[in-house]
Structure 1
């Protein structure tokens, strides 16, 4: 189902990183901006909540 939202550039992706250089983060951000948007959690503390919310995101989209 995620292929559908990627096809119309409406995908939402959550990313997080604990120890990554700025260059690596920019590469990842630029990649995900090509298929939609992203949420940078700046660590893993919010990743569980993001997973719960996004797991049924397609059903309500």
Structure 2
């Protein structure tokens, strides 16, 4: 079975999460990864962005909507 792995480092809090398809299947592993990203990583990222904006750091958004 497959493993979906997400690692964050650098300006993100260090984290390494693995979601396996072994117990509930591939869709469940993807769902668990999305849940972790939305409940843990996204709130942390929003908080960090607000802090950076308060400090005057504003990354460019010019390529944000660009799709390949």
Q: What TM-score do you get using the length of structure 1 for normalisation?
A: 0.32
Q: Which has the higher contact order (CA 8 A, sep 6+)?
A: 1
Which structure: greater helix fraction? 1
Max Rg structure = 2
Q: What TM-score do you get using the length of structure 2 for normalisation?
A: 0.30
